[in-house]
Amino acid sequence: MSNERAEPRAELVRGLGVWDGVLLTVGSVIGTGIFLVSSDIAKVLPHGGMLLAVWLAGGLLSLAGALTYAELGAMFPRAGGIYLFLKEAYGPLPGFLYGWSCFLVMMSGGIAAIAVGFGEYLGAFFPFSSTANVLATQTIGSWTWNLTGVQVVGAAAILVLTAVNHFGLKQGAAIQNVMTVIKMGAIVGVALLGYLVPAKSVLGITAPLPASGLLAAFGVAMIAALWTYDGWYGLTFSAGEMKNPGRSLPLGLIGGTAIITGLYMLINFVYLRAMPVGQMAGESRIGEAAAAILLGPAAGQWLAAAVVISTFGCLAATILYSSRIYHPMAEDGLFFRSLARIDPVSHVPARSLWAQSLWAVLLTLSGSYSQLYTYAVLVTVLFHVLAGAAVFVLRRQRPDALRPYRVWGYPWVPIAFLGAMAVLLVNTVAERPVESLLGLGLVALGLPAYVYLRRTNA
C-alpha cells in the first residue's frame, strides 16, 4: 500500500465582493456598442423620444433578466452560470449543448469580435493596427486569407489578458475593475460636459410620431439595443468565486445592470443635444461625432481613446467570466477532463482559461469569427429563453430548495424577460432564416461530441 498522500485538490477562491460584481457586470457590457449603435437605431426609428424609449426599454428588460438570473445564481453558487441553470432544470444534454456552443462560437467568437474591435479603434492612434496593414496573404483555390495588423493586435490583447487572469482572480479582477472605472468616468464626463455647454440641436422628444410602422421599427431598434446590453448575465459564471453569492451575486447583477441603463440613457441625451436624430443616422461613430460637435475636435479624439480603454476592459471582463463555463462541465464529465483542473497556486481554472483563449486567438487570426458569430445569434437567444424558464421549472421541481434570493415581482418579471426573448427569437428566425438554420447546425455538431464525452468519461 502506498505511503504517498494524495495532493489536496485545489479549489476556486471566493474573492469577489459586491463592488467587484457590479464592476464585472458593467465591464462585461460596455464596449463599443453604446458609441456606435444609436446611429443604427436612428436609421430605423428617427424620433428622439422613441430612441430614448428604446434604450430605456432595453435596460428594463435586461434588468428583468438580471432579477431572474439572480435567483438561479444564488440558488446554485457554483461556477458555470447558464450551463448550470440548464443542467439543473433540464438535464445534462441542454447544459452541454450550451457550453459546447459557447466554446465553439458564442463566447470564443465574442472574444474574437471584441479583440478585433479593440484593434480597429487602436488603429486611430497606431497605424500598425489597421485593416489596411496586410502582413501576409495566402490563397487556396477561391479562398483568400489575409493577416492584418488589427488581427495581430487583437490576438496579442487576448493573450496578455489571459496571462493576467492566469496569475489569479485578484489580478484579473483588478485589471477589469480599473478599466471599468475609467470607462464609466469617461461616459459620465462626456455626459456632464455635454450638459454644461449649450445644446446644438433640439432634442425632438415631443415631435409628432410616425403615422405608421412605429411598432415594427421599435421592434427592430430593440434588437440593436438589447445586443448592446448583452453580457449583463456574465457575473453568474463567476458565482463560485463570490464571497457571499446569496447576497453579492444579486446585488452585483442588479446594481450593475441598473448603472448600465443609467449610463446609456445619459449618453443618448448628449447625442440628441449634439445633433438631430436625422443626422445621427449618418454618423457611424456617433460618440466621437457628438463629443466633437459639443466640445470640439480634441474631445472627439479623447472619446476615441476612451473607446479603446472601454473595449479593452470589456475584453478583460469577458475572458474572466466566460472561462468559468468549461471547468464545471469537465467536473461533471461533460467536457475534457483536463479542463477541470484548478491551478494550485493561482486557484483559477487555468486550463479552461487557456483553452478558450487559444481558440479565440485562432478565430481572430482566421478572420472567420464574424460569420460564425452571426450564426450563433439565434442560439444565444434560444438558450436565454430556456434559462429564463428554468426559474419556473425549478420552483415546481424543487419547491423546498434553499433560495437566498427570490426574484422580485415573480412571476411577472420573469414572464416579461421570457416574452422579450421569445419575440427576439421569432424575429431572428424571420430576419435571418439561413443564419439561424446554420446556427442550429453548429449546435447539432455537439450531439456526437456529447455521446463521445459521456462514454469516455463514464
Give pLDDT tens digits for 299-341: 888 888 888 888 898 898 889 888 889 989 998 888 988 888 8
List residues bridging with 138 in a β-sheet: 145
| pLDDT score of 358 | 95
Q: Look up residue 341 and give its three cell numbers.
A: 483542473
More confident residue, 4 or 380: 380
Q: pLDDT averaged over the chain?
A: 86
Least confident piece of the model among 97-111, 150-164, 224-238, 370-384: 370-384
Phi, psi of 409 (to 5 degrees): 80, 15
- pLDDT-derived band at 254 (thresholds 50, 70, 90) equals very high
> What CATH number is attached to the domain comprising 143?
1.20.1740.10
Read off the pTM. 0.87
Asked if residue 132 belongs to a domain, the reply is yes
Rounded Cα–Cα distance for residues 209 and 327 (Å) = 51
**pLDDT over 90 (residue 391):** yes
| pLDDT score of 16 | 79
Q: Report the number of distinct structural domains present in the chain.
A: 1
Length of the chain: 458
Rounded Cα–Cα distance for residues 341 and 351 (Å) = 7
> 301: domain range?
18-206+228-456
**pLDDT over 70 (residue 280):** yes
Least confident piece of the model among 8-17, 378-387, 437-446: 8-17
Asked if 413 contacts 67 with a C-beta cutoff of 8 angstroms, the reply is yes
**pLDDT over 50 (residue 2):** no
Asked if residue 217 belongs to a domain, the reply is no
- pLDDT-derived band at 46 (thresholds 50, 70, 90) equals confident
Q: Look up residue 78 and give its three cell numbers.
A: 457554483
* 140 contacts: CB under 8 Å, gap ≥ 6: none
Asked if residue 214 belongs to a domain, the reply is no
* 369 contacts: CB under 8 Å, gap ≥ 6: 108, 109, 112, 113, 116, 363
Query: Considering only CA atoms, which of 32, 304, 202, 90 is closest in space to residue 82?
Result: 90
Average pLDDT of the segment spanning 257-284:
89
**pLDDT over 80 (residue 44):** yes
Rounded Cα–Cα distance for residues 384 and 226 (Å) = 12
Asked if residue 1 belongs to a domain, the reply is no
Rounded Cα–Cα distance for residues 112 and 156 (Å) = 11
User: For residue 74, how far is the Cα from the chain centroid?
Assistant: 20
**pLDDT over 90 (residue 59):** yes
Query: Considering only CA atoms, which of 369, 379, 373, 370 is closest in space to residue 436?
Result: 379
Asked if residue 215 belongs to a domain, the reply is no
- pLDDT-derived band at 369 (thresholds 50, 70, 90) equals low
More confident residue, 11 or 245: 245
Asked if residue 298 belongs to a domain, the reply is yes
Asked if residue 218 belongs to a domain, the reply is no
**pLDDT over 60 (residue 4):** no
Average pLDDT of the segment spanning 279-293:
85
Asked if residue 4 belongs to a domain, the reply is no
Least confident piece of the model among 58-67, 222-231, 340-349, 372-381: 372-381
| pLDDT score of 7 | 43
More confident residue, 155 or 77: 155
Average pLDDT of the segment spanning 234-248:
87
Average pLDDT of the segment spanning 118-123:
87
- pLDDT-derived band at 92 (thresholds 50, 70, 90) equals very high
- pLDDT-derived band at 63 (thresholds 50, 70, 90) equals very high
**pLDDT over 90 (residue 84):** yes
Q: For helices 245-274 and 18-29, what crossing angle results, to 10°?
A: 40
| pLDDT score of 261 | 94
List residues bridging with 187 in a β-sheet: none
**pLDDT over 60 (residue 345):** yes
| pLDDT score of 211 | 64
Which helix (DSSP H) or strand (DSSP E) does residue 281 occupy? none
| pLDDT score of 13 | 65
Q: Which amino acid is at 55?
A: W
Tens-place pLDDT, residues 347-358 = 888 899 999 999
**Highest mean pLDDT: which of 37-46, 222-231, 262-271?**
262-271
| pLDDT score of 228 | 87
**pLDDT over 70 (residue 1):** no
Phi, psi of 178 (to 5 degrees): -60, -45
Rounded Cα–Cα distance for residues 268 and 35 (Å) = 9
Please report, to the nearest 10 degrees, the dihedral formed by the alpha carbons of residues 59, 314, 196, 257 taken in order: 20
